[in-house]
Amino acid sequence: MSDPSVTQDLIHGGEGPAASVVSSSNRPRSLWQDTWDILRHRKIFWISFIMLILFLLMAAFPSLFTHKNPDYATLAKSMDPPSGEAWFGYDLQGRDVFARTIYGARTSIIVGVLATLVTVILGGVAGVLAAYYARWVDSILSRIGEIFLGVPYVLGAIIILGTVAPAQSSPDRVTIMAVVIIVLAVLGWPILMRIARSSVIQAKHQDYVQAARALGAGPFRIIFKHLLPNSLAPILVYSTITIGSYIGAEATLSLLGIGLREPVISWGIAIADHTSYIRTGAHAMLFPAAFLSLCVLTFVMLGEAVRDALDPKLR
């Protein structure tokens, strides 16, 4: 037999303590609550998260890790090995490798984050417009994206950077960083456009979107109130992994001599300056390379953890 108190509460409109228990237990959980419950029980998430915080602290507050000036050079100490005075040794110019590795985190992470942000804006806007308006808008934006996808990434970056900022020029720090960021984003936005387009196409056929349109909601409200919030999961996962990819791409372009350059301090520049001294001073290249690899791995692991938590098949 049923509990009389529960029956009485239901008869009187669901008031009382029993009804509150029923309502609270039947309250639907959001996707992000389920995702967090999965992430907080995964070691790979916490490992990548702690490493991410460490790299962000390096980028924001490098003085917490070293008090040495990364630009101060003593030629008498050129290529000296690691010691108690300099944990990572000295580079070709006699500069402290540890200090330059710590300060290099700022430039590499800024380039990766800003390039990803521009990519999300360009690709996200194009993908949403293509999916929502479809027809000729979708055709034009998709064809433009396919043109950019047809250009090899490194080759396209070499051509653009060689034209806009050739190696013989000496642009200031902000200019060369801005050029590299724009080039990375321009060559990378079509992939995110496809991801955003696919997500919005799936979302716009849902009942809640049809109901909003029937109630007279305009395109702006439908896109920002209903489509984007329900299409963010794949965009977020791809963006997290893309930050690491762009950090590696920046180092590759710097190694080729067409990316960042002095007086900018970055891991890619440190590697590029000492590739010819691998036998006589490997420390000057290996330590920045190790930090670069760990940073890229951090963003990739974090993106993988978020993707697994958001994937309904794995959940």
Q: What is the pLDDT of residue 49?
A: 92
Checking if the pLDDT of 237 tops 60, the result is yes
Q: What is the pLDDT of residue 94?
A: 86
Q: What is the pLDDT of residue 214?
A: 76
> pLDDT-derived band of residue 305, with 50, 70 and 90 as boundaries?
confident
pLDDT digits (tens, 9 = 90+) for 273-297: 888 777 777 888 888 999 999 999 9
pLDDT digits (tens, 9 = 90+) for 193-219: 888 888 888 877 777 777 777 777 777
Positive or negative torsion for Cα 253, 257, 263, 265: positive
List of E strands, the chain: none
Q: Which residue has the higher pLDDT, 1 or 294?
A: 294
* Amino acid letter for position 243: I
How large is the average pLDDT for residues 82-87? 83
Checking if the pLDDT of 190 tops 80, the result is yes
Q: What is the pLDDT of residue 298?
A: 92
Residue 163 CA: distances (Å) to CA of 72, 248, 261, 263: 32, 22, 16, 20
pTM score: 0.81
For the record, the structure tokens of 210 come out as 């049809």
Checking if the pLDDT of 312 tops 70, the result is no
> pLDDT-derived band of residue 20, with 50, 70 and 90 as boundaries?
very low
Checking if the pLDDT of 6 tops 60, the result is no
Of 272, 303, 265, the closest CA to residue 58 belongs to: 265
How large is the average pLDDT for residues 302-312? 79
- Of 3-7, 68-72, 241-245, 294-298, the range with the lowest mean pLDDT is 3-7
> pLDDT-derived band of residue 37, with 50, 70 and 90 as boundaries?
confident
Instruction: Decide if 286 contacts 277 (C-beta within 8 A).
Output: no
Q: What is the pLDDT of residue 27?
A: 63
For the record, the structure tokens of 269 come out as 């520049």
Ramachandran region of residue 79, left (φ > 0), alpha (ψ -120 to 50) or beta?
Answer: left
Checking if the pLDDT of 21 tops 50, the result is no
Dihedral Cα 49, 51, 53, 54, nearest 10 deg: 170
Asked whether the bond before 263 is cis by omega within 30 degrees of 0, the reply is: yes
> pLDDT-derived band of residue 225, with 50, 70 and 90 as boundaries?
confident
Q: What is the pLDDT of residue 17?
A: 46
Highest mean pLDDT among 65-79, 97-111, 253-267, 274-288: 97-111
Q: What is the pLDDT of residue 30?
A: 64
